[in-house]
Amino acid sequence: MGMYFEEFSVGKKIVTGNRTVTSDDIMKFADLTGDNNRIHTDAEFSKTTPFGQRIAHGLLGLSLASGLAWQTGILDGTVIAFREVNEWKFIKPIFIGDQVHAELSIAETKALPRIGGGSVTLEADLKNQKDEVCMKGSWNILVLSKPK
């Protein structure tokens, strides 16, 4: 079972496991979303860009961060909804073969008794294997209160 609203305390830090980004991940994301921009899907074209190679979609990185957070177990059975993404910044590209992980920090909590829980704001950094921040921002989620 995940963490209940009352178990989230400002300042608490959570580090996820790692995930290696593959060419297959990028191609599946392109197929799923319809975003077939050649910077993501065409190796020859990508060689002519400032990155010199294919890069992952920025929104794939955001999605991976969300999935990595889920895999920690903190939201299992207790998250009501993913409410908001704030000030998300794409800082460095994610390349094929990069290992990414998310570092989360609880920035704010607000009880919302009418929904049976509360609002939790998480500051999130998605980092690569060199510990470089690839993207960052904050998420607001709604979380159930502990049963009485």
Q: Kind and range of the H or E element at 43?
A: helix 43-46
Does residue 30 register a pLDDT over 90? yes
User: Do the domain assignments include residue 128?
Assistant: yes
User: Do the domain assignments include residue 30?
Assistant: no
**CATH, residue 135:** 3.10.129.10
Mean pLDDT, residues 83-100 taken together? 97
pLDDT over 70, % of the chain: 100
SS3 96: coil
Mean pLDDT, residues 56-78 taken together? 97
For 93, the token pair is: 């590209």
User: Do the domain assignments include residue 14?
Assistant: yes
Tell me which residue range forms the domain holding 107. Answer: 5-22+63-144
Does residue 32 register a pLDDT over 90? yes
Q: How many structural domains comprise the chain?
A: 1
User: Do the domain assignments include residue 11?
Assistant: yes
Cα(139)–Cα(148) distance, rounded to whole angstroms? 27
Mean pLDDT, residues 104-131 taken together? 98
Please report, as a single letter, which amino acid is at residue 88.
W
User: Do the domain assignments include residue 71?
Assistant: yes
**pLDDT band at 1, cuts 50/70/90?**
confident
Distance of CA 26 to the CA centre of its chain: 16
User: Do the domain assignments include residue 52?
Assistant: no
Per-residue model confidence (pLDDT) at position 116: 96
User: Do the domain assignments include residue 41?
Assistant: no
Mean pLDDT, residues 69-84 taken together? 96
